[in-house]
Amino acid sequence: MRHGKTVKTLDRDRASRQALLRGLATSLVLYEKIKTTDAKAKTIKPIIEKHITTAKKGDLAARRQLAKYLYTRGAVKKMIEKIGPRYKDRQGGYLRITKLGPRKGDGAQMVQLELV
């Protein structure tokens, strides 16, 4: 039974969900703004914020932690060299979710997830 479990499954098994979230995270780092559904944005937001906090350290251990999660070396490099120093003095709240309205095909609530 899954009483008390708070993981959003996004109607996927564990491996598919993790691949989806890693792909979203990598795209968000590279492009700094993505358009996705509300549920996916709310799921990825705390993950990305923890990784930005890790990137603020900027040492080798932080680089390796990010490399374990993000798919490309370019995304890791951008996190350490650009995004981490940008938020050095900020204590959190690195992302903004802006509602865009329902998707035409299925009516899913679409949002824009962007770095502040």
Q: What percent of the chain has pLDDT over 70?
A: 100
pLDDT of residue 7: 85
Q: Which fold has domain 15-115?
A: 50s Ribosomal Protein L17; Chain: A, (3.90.1030)
What pTM value is reported for the model?
0.92
* Residue in the structure block whose two tokens are 């709310």: 42
Query: What is the arrangement of strands in the sheet containing 95-102, beginning at the earlier edge strand?
Result: 33-37, 109-115, 95-102
For the chain, the structural domain boundaries read 15-115
Q: Is the pLDDT of residue 76 over 90?
A: yes
Q: Give SS3 for 106.
A: coil
